[in-house]
Amino acid sequence: MGHVFEGLTAFGKDFSAVPELADSIDATPDGRQWTFKLREGVLFHNGKEMTAEDVQASIERWRKVGPKGTILKNLERYEIVGKYVLRMHFKEPMGRFLLLAFGSEENKAIIMPKEIAEKYPEATKIPKNEVVGTGPFQFVDHKPDQYVRLKRFDKYKPRNDAANYQSGRKGVWVDEVVFWVVEQNTTRIAGIETGEYDIITDIPDTEFDRLKSVKGVTPVKNGPGLLLYMMFNHKKGPTANINIRKAIQAAIDPNELVAAVVSNQQFGVVNPSFFPPESPYNNAERAEMYGRADIDKAKEFLKQAGYANEELKLQVIAQNSIYVRVLTAAAEQLKRAGMNAVVVKLDRATWQAKRRDGDYLNMYNSGGYWFDPSLYEPEFNGTFPSRDVAFYSPEVEKVFEGLARETTFESRFALGKELQRLFYDQVAILNLGYVYRLIAKRDHVVDPEGNLALGNLTLHGVWLNK
Amino acid sequence: MRMITVAITRFLAAMLALSFVTFPGVGNGFAQTPKRGGTLNVGLHIDLLHYDWQPRSRIRFRT
């Protein structure tokens, strides 16, 4: 929904946080006061001008309902310094990762009118007619599992600085955007070839070479690398035992997993780091523990755990072919090491509910972009996806506290390495490999900024030359 | 006559200046000439809005 909503900050082309609705951002040297001067004259889709009050209410809502809201646990108070100036006071020093959290591609701290933010204090309760942001497109209509229709926000006020992925000057050229839900890959691909669609996403990489030869169509490799990962129930069941997790870690062969997911070499990367190859935090800490595919070692850990052939459920969203493939291959690897691994395919809603259920969950997989070590905090602080299953360790908490304080890259890089070491040693999460996405566009779709090759589908700056 | 010439010159100069402001791609900061209009049809494999209206910058990829 980055087309409809904006935040104080957003990700730039290098995936650092840059101002979006903020005009300038200042912090005191001790990191306890952060002052956000807002851009003036920015309108919400309902015609109201954005002020510091709206931002305060939106941040407060995000603090309470957003999975990353825990980042503000040391927030002492807000101070509205002026109509367009909001200051945040923290009990402890807060590093620049605050800006990354606000602008994060996942669970961004979106800004909405105060009235709406306060009226709907729960995450899932905003009705369609009150989906109001400041973004370049505004919401028109949504038919579940069929389409989402947006139209250009004619009163959109772009920034004046150079276009920079999700921020900078956003040109808004098309009148409307319709996102059609087309589950079948073959149907989407046929649709781009006939011209029914201008852009399609999530195409199997096997199509890359073929699409290059289709007249009027251009395939686009989309990055950065998406980390495919496996998460565990750390509280109950077999995976609460670290030796079971170590057995799983020892048995996994990411080379084989990535090969199961991509056929075109340039769309998959095996890399030991929990930070993608494009991240400055990418490092080789504990690389020796990665991709061992050591069946004997796995069996040793199982013995230490007293494993008695308990079922190990690997739950996956049925509609996601990549995730199904990677998890099916992972289950085979676990079986080879003597584990009773079973792939359970669920619809998305059930999958979400089951991964919070401490009595049900063993393992689930997903994918994410974690450019900065602090971005792991919300998912490894003992609360995610629920307190009944979540990972927590005092050592990891200490690293997150350090990351929140430290501002120099060198010190944060050292903490990022420490986090990676702990993730390996405590088997908090498993790295299954990195994949790149393939999308395709018709040649009449002009994308001068190269936004389509970056991260999430970003349609500002794009126009139709037909 | 001179007044008419000056007026025409001024008019042409104004038009020239205006062209740099009005015509996209010349004086608007964009490297190419953007074209306005049209509907962009995008084929996605999932419903971006899933089952609720929890607004977020993105739905985590492929979950």
pLDDT tier at B5 (50, 70, 90 boundaries)? low
Mean pLDDT computed over B5-18: 57
Lowest mean pLDDT among A56-60, A137-141, A254-258, B18-22: B18-22
pLDDT tier at A378 (50, 70, 90 boundaries)? confident
C-beta atoms of B30 and A125 within 8 A: no
* A175/B contact by beta carbon, under 8 A: yes
The Cα A329–Cα A268 span in angstroms is 15
C-beta atoms of A198 and B40 within 8 A: yes
Query: Which of A123, A169, A445 is the closest to B29 by Cβ?
Result: A169
Q: Find the distance separating the first CA and the last CA of chain B, reported in whole Å.
A: 75
Q: Tokens 């062209």: give the residue.
A: B19
Q: Is the pLDDT of residue B62 over 60?
A: no
pLDDT tier at A334 (50, 70, 90 boundaries)? very high
pLDDT of residue B18: 46
pLDDT of residue B1: 57
Mean pLDDT computed over A179-191: 94
pLDDT in tens, A382-409: 988 999 999 999 999 999 989 887 877 8
| Preferred mutation among A6, A108, A179, A384 to probe B, highest tally of B CBs within 10 A | A179
* A446/B contact by beta carbon, under 8 A: yes
Query: By the 8 A CB rule, do A257 and A329 touch?
Result: yes
Give the other-Cβ count within 10 Å of B14's Cβ.
Answer: 10
The Cα A125–Cα A119 span in angstroms is 9
H or E element at residue A316 = strand A311-317
The Cα A168–Cα A126 span in angstroms is 28
Q: Is the pLDDT of residue B48 over 70?
A: no
pLDDT tier at A71 (50, 70, 90 boundaries)? confident
pLDDT of residue B63: 21
- How far does the CA of residue B12 sit from the closest CA of chain A (Å)? 29
Burial string for A197-213 (b: 16+ CB within 10 Å, else e) reads bbbbbbbbbebbeebee
DSSP state of A454: B
CA pseudo-torsion sign B30, B33, B34, B36? positive
> Using alpha carbons only, how large is chain B's radius of gyration in Å?
24
pLDDT of residue A369: 80
Query: Which of A2, A112, A197 is the closest to B57 by Cβ?
Result: A2
Q: In B, what residues contact A, Cβ < 8 A?
A: 29-32, 34-58, 60-63
C-beta atoms of B40 and A174 within 8 A: yes
pLDDT of residue A295: 97
Residue type, A336: R
Q: Is the pLDDT of residue B58 over 50?
A: no
Query: Which of B31, B43, B45 is the closest to A192 by Cβ?
Result: B43
DSSP reduced 3-state for A262: coil
The Cα A379–Cα A387 span in angstroms is 11
Residue A351's Cα: distance from chain center in Å? 17
pLDDT tier at B2 (50, 70, 90 boundaries)? low
pLDDT of residue A189: 97
Give the other-Cβ count within 10 Å of B1's Cβ.
Answer: 5
| Residues found in chain A | 466
Query: Which of A148, A176, A197 is the closest to B48 by Cβ?
Result: A148
DSSP reduced 3-state for A219: strand
- How far does the CA of residue A249 sit from the closest CA of chain B (Å)? 22
pLDDT of residue A283: 97
CB pairs under 8 A between A and B: 175
* Mean pLDDT over each residue of chain A, to the nearest integer: 93
Query: By the 8 A CB rule, do A166 and A10 touch?
Result: yes
Q: Is the pLDDT of residue B28 over 60?
A: no
Mean pLDDT computed over A103-115: 88
Q: How distant, in Å, are the alpha carbons of A270, A369, A419 from that of A435? A: 9, 11, 22
Mean pLDDT computed over A290-311: 97
Most confident of A5-9, A180-184, A375-379, A400-404: A5-9
Residue B46 burial (C-beta neighbours within 10 Å; 0-12, 13-18, 19+):
buried
> Using alpha carbons only, how large is chain A's radius of gyration in Å?
23
pLDDT tier at B7 (50, 70, 90 boundaries)? low
pLDDT tier at A466 (50, 70, 90 boundaries)? confident
Quote helix, strand, coil % in chain B, to nearest 5: 35, 10, 55
Q: Is the pLDDT of residue A373 over 80?
A: yes
Interface of A with B in 4-63 (CB under 8 A): 4-5, 7
ipTM of this predicted structure: 0.80
Residue A115 burial (C-beta neighbours within 10 Å; 0-12, 13-18, 19+):
middle
pLDDT of residue A51: 98
CA contacts within 13 A on the Cβ side of A134: 31
pLDDT tier at A127 (50, 70, 90 boundaries)? confident
Write down the H helix ranges in A24-108: 52-65, 97-103
Query: Which of A110, A148, A463 is the closest to B57 by Cβ?
Result: A110
CA pseudo-torsion sign A143, A146, A152, A153? positive
| Preferred mutation among B36, B51, B57 to probe A, highest tally of A CBs within 10 A | B57
pLDDT of residue B47: 58
pLDDT of residue A398: 96
B60: nearest CA in chain A?
Answer: A106
pLDDT of residue A374: 86
Residues of B in Cβ contact (< 8 Å) with A62: none
Q: Is the pLDDT of residue B21 over 50?
A: no
pLDDT of residue B14: 55
Q: Is the pLDDT of residue A302 over 50?
A: yes
Residues of A in Cβ contact (< 8 Å) with B40: 174, 176-178, 198-199, 445, 459, 462, 464
Query: Which of B44, B50, B61 is the closest to A180 by Cβ?
Result: B44
pLDDT in tens, A417-462: 999 999 999 999 999 999 998 999 999 999 999 999 988 889 999 9
pLDDT tier at B6 (50, 70, 90 boundaries)? low
Q: A412: left (phi > 0), else alpha (psi -120 to 50), else beta?
A: alpha
More confident residue, A447 or A371: A447
Q: Is the pLDDT of residue A80 over 70?
A: yes
* A230: phi then psi, degrees, rounded to nearest 5: -120, 135
Query: By the 8 A CB rule, do A139 and A179 touch?
Result: no
CA pseudo-torsion sign A17, A21, A22, A23? positive
Write the CB contacts of A145 (distance below 8 Å, at least 6 apart in sequence).
Answer: A181, B47
Burial string for A389-420 (b: 16+ CB within 10 Å, else e) reads bbbebeebeebbebbbebeeeeebbbbbbbbb
- How far does the CA of residue A445 sit from the closest CA of chain B (Å)? 9
pLDDT of residue B26: 37
The Cα A69–Cα A60 span in angstroms is 9
